[in-house]
């Protein structure tokens, strides 16, 4: 493979004076493409360049829209016990755990390419979005969000590559709040309480800082490396101190208690990203003969007998040819919150009226695509730091740092700068004690570019996280009330991207909570740590809100609705729930209602999105799903991980909580 970086040339035609549009930026992209554009994995294609022609009717399966299935000539050996659709975080875990049974054969299909080396470099995270390994989805225009974005649409990145979004994300390891999982269980999903999911987090984990976390809540020896970055510049430590000055305690946010601050743990190993592909697939690839992997395999639909309602295989495109593979036991859909609904709906499983309007035979009427949630954030609240604290360097120094990292996996590029500091707080809108509704993530910026054109600067940002002279302290909404929906593209339901109606901030309470999060973040300016860094708030109104006085309630509301962004934590479109739940798509063992031998195992099953980053919960869901499958087919209760003693969360009265955890403003 050869990785292709984001094409920023079109955007740069608008402004040529942005730093990101100068020749050194393009030279940097060319350099890292040459040095890191290839993959350490070589594709294993069981067909080579051969293939089978498309049929005349994509819905031509028995009992379907006509055409029959006689155009397919099944090659010998195209039968597997399990077929896993999508090699993202969940798919990689499932492929690993199911092939632990030597007698089971597994086919893992991925629409994207092999994981390129450029993804290994932590500070290169911004350059992965809008590159050749990102699906590059966009939301539909909405009157309540993304108003200043081009065409009123927000970009929603998703990994199209081995490892999925774990290959392009910012590597943050956060599990969520214990009450998130207890609520899942209380809503009719037995087995999903915090006490019952914690062992599955621990099962995957190989924690390298076990002496500095709450040991009883963490695992050692699992496939997934979890650690803190070794490289931390002075600004990172100052930001960490600033949050503590505001009364936020240092806590292990993965052990049960979230409100407070911590130096993040990440899915990295010795200064290098550890995607789900690297963690769960590379150790077994070529070693387990019962695992077959096909990349660049675009999944069309699950094959389901419309009479017996049994899933028996999958149809996919590769090299311009259409193939079928058969599953003796189960088909497992792990395509994520956006693409899993598409695959199910193309297979005849989804809202009946929507499918009928597109000429798709309805096999099972289910609310697929509904209950869409996200953790929205915003651009626009900018902090400048003094020249003494800024880490901007000349292009020649960046080049030296790139070559140094290439040799040593160390230096400024081996971490994510100030993003290492993570904080959870509670605003006045969250009434349950000890449960956060805002998370703060600290992004880096070149202040001159962002003041010149905030939208263009954000869309052309490809510089490493190591070099900056300003911050964007992003409040992240953790408990959105608004819900969206995913639908098929009516113009081209098969190859067209699904239609995303995010409905972000459609509920006023979500926007108001974000405003409160902005106000609380401004208290950082009062801290000694930030003053030492020479931090100041940039009070120049952003273009879309220059009709309001800076800092007023109306100004912040305008900013929230105009400069909406996302933390890429989409969830909920194939909701897990009891049979009587009208919005449930899968049962508590992740089986699709009304269809045999078909499960959904990814973030789309979340009844409510967890409060925090979603990669660790996705891996947990897959670990638990793998055991459900083993229980079913091994005809015995599978040996579950040992349930640890749960750390007790100290009780605190409400007045004390306000005094300790709330920012005063």
Residues tagged in the binding site annotation for FAD: 161
Q: Strand ranges (DSSP E) for 374-461? A: 376-378, 382-384, 421-425, 438-445
Give the count of beta carbons closer than 10 Å to the beta carbon of residue 132. 19
State the first-to-last Cα distance of the chain, in angstroms, to the nearest integer: 52
Q: Which two tokens stand for residue 475?
A: 């409040």
Q: Which residues are annotated as a binding site?
A: 161
Place of tokens 């049929």: 55
Distance between CA atoms of residues 645 and 634, nearest Å: 29
Q: Out of 354, 569, 580, 665, pick the active-site residue.
A: 569
Between the CA atoms of 541, 546, 552 and 557, what dihedral angle is there, to the nearest 10 degrees?
-100
Let me know how many helices (H) and strands (E) the chain has, helices first: 17, 23
**CB within 8 Å of 211: residues ≥ 6 apart:** none
Residues 421 and 658: their CA atoms lie apart, in Å, by 22
- What b/e readout covers 333-350, taking b as 16+ CB neighbours within 10 angstroms? bbbbbbbbbbbbbbbbbb
At which residue do the structure tokens 């699950």 appear? Answer: 302
Strands (E), 341-389: 349-350, 364-365, 376-378, 382-384
What angle is formed at CA 340 by the lines to CA 376 and CA 198, rounded to 5 degrees?
Answer: 70
User: Considering only CA atoms, which of 474, 465, 457, 470 is closest in space to residue 378?
Assistant: 474
Instruction: Return the structure tokens found at 521.
Output: 């973040």
- Decide if 569 is catalytic: yes
| DSSP code at position 204 | H
Nearest Cα neighbor of 257 from 610, 648, 645 is: 648
- Do the strands 421-425 and 438-445 form a parallel or antiparallel pair, or are they unpaired? antiparallel
Rg (CA), the chain: 24
Q: Rounded to an integer, what distance in angstroms lies between the CA atom of residue 532 and that of residue 182? A: 42
In 3D, which of 625, 57, 46 has the Cα closest to residue 315? 57
Distance in angstroms (rounded) separating the CA atoms of residues 619 and 171? 13
With 0-12 / 13-18 / 19 or more C-beta atoms within 10 angstroms meaning exposed / middle / buried, residue 284 is middle
CA pair distance 131, 115, nearest whole angstrom: 12
In terms of Cβ atoms closer than 10 Å to its own Cβ (0-12, 13-18, 19+), residue 217 is buried
Q: Determine the Cα–Cα distance for residues 308 and 314; give it in Å rounded to an integer.
A: 16
Measured at the alpha carbon of residue 287, what is the angle toward residues 89 and 95, in degrees to the nearest 5?
Answer: 25
Residues in the chain: 665
Write the DSSP symbol of residue 27.
H
Strand ranges (DSSP E) for 266-363?
A: 291-294, 298-305, 310-318, 321-333, 349-350
Integer Cα distance of 583 and 367 in angstroms: 6
Which H/E stretch holds residue 334? none
615-633 helix and 89-98 helix, angle to the nearest 10 degrees: 30
CB 310 within 8 A of CB 597: yes
Under a CB-based contact definition with an 8 Å cutoff, are residues 267 and 446 in contact?
A: no
Residues noted as catalytic: 569
């Amino acid at each position: 493979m050869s990785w292709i970086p984001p094409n920023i040339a079109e955007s740069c035609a608008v402004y040529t004076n942005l730093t990101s549009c100068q020749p050194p930026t393009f030279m940097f992209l060319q350099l890292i493409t040459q040095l890191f554009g290839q993959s350490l994995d070589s594709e294993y294609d069981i067909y080579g360049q051969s293939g089978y022609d498309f049929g005349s009717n994509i819905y031509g399966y028995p009992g379907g829209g006509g055409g029959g299935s006689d155009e397919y000539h099944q090659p010998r050996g195209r039968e597997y016990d399990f077929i896993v659709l999508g090699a993202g975080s969940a798919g990689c875990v499932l492929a690993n755990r199911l092939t632990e049974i030597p007698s089971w054969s597994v086919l893992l299909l991925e629409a994207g390419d092999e994981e390129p080396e450029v993804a290994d470099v932590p500070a290169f995270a911004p350059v992965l979005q809008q590159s050749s390994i990102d699906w590059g989805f966009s939301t539909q225009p909405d009157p309540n969000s993304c108003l200043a974005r081009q065409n009123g649409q927000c970009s929603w990145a998703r990994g199209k590559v081995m490892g999925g979004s774990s290959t392009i994300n910012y590597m943050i390891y956060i599990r969520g709040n214990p009450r998130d999982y207890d609520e899942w269980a209380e809503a009719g999903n037995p087995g999903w309480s915090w006490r019952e999911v914690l062992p599955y987090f621990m099962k995957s984990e190989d924690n390298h800082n076990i002496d500095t976390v709450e040991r009883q809540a963490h695992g050692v020896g699992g496939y997934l490396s979890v650690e803190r970055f070794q490289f931390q510049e002075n600004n990172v430590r100052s930001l960490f101190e600033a949050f503590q000055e505001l009364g936020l305690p240092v806590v292990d946010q993965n052990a049960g208690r979230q409100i407070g601050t911590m130096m993040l743990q990440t899915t990295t190993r010795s200064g290098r990203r550890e995607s789900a592909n690297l963690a769960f697939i590379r150790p077994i690839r070529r070693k387990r003969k019962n695992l077959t992997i096909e990349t660049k395999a675009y999944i069309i639909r699950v094959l389901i007998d419309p009479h017996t309602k049994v899933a028996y295989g999958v149809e996919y495109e590769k090299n311009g040819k259409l193939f079928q593979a058969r599953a003796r036991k189960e088909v497992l859909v792990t395509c994520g919150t956006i693409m899993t609904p598409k695959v199910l709906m193309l297979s005849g499983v989804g809202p009946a009226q929507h499918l009928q309007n597109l000429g798709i035979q309805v096999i099972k009427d289910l609310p697929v695509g509904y209950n869409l949630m996200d953790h929205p954030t915003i651009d626009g609240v900018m902090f400048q730091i003094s020249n003494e604290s800024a880490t901007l360097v000349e292009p020649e120094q960046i080049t030296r740092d790139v070559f140094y990292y290439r040799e040593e996996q160390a230096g400024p590029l081996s971490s994510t700068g100030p993003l290492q500091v993570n904080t959870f707080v509670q605003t006045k809108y969250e009434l349950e004690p000890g449960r956060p509704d805002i998370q703060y993530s600290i992004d880096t910026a070149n202040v001159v570019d962002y003041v010149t054109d905030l939208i263009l600067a954000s869309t052309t940002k490809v510089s490493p996280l190591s070099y900056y002279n300003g911050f964007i302290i992003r409040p992240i909404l953790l408990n959105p009330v608004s819900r969206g929906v995913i639908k098929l593209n009516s113009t081209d339901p098969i190859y067209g991207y699904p239609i995303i109606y995010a409905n972000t901030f459609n509920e006023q309470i979500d926007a108001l909570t974000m405003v409160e999060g902005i106000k609380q973040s401004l208290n950082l300016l009062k801290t000694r740590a930030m003053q030492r860094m020479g931090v100041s708030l940039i009070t120049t109104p952003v273009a879309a809100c220059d009709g309001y006085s800076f800092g007023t309630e109306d100004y912040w509301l305008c900013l929230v609705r105009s400069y909406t962004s996302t933390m890429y934590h989409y969830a909920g479109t194939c909701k897990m729930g009891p049979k009587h739940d009208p919005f449930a798509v899968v049962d508590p063992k992740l089986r699709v209602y009304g269809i045999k031998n078909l499960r959904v195992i990814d973030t789309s099953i979340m009844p409510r999105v967890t409060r925090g980053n979603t990669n660790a919960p996705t891996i947990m869901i897959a670990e638990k799903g793998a055991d459900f499958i083993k229980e079913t087919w091994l005809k015995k209760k599978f040996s579950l991980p040992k349930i640890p003693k749960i750390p007790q969360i100290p009780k605190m009265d409400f007045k004390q909580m306000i005094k300790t955890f709330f920012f005063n403003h």
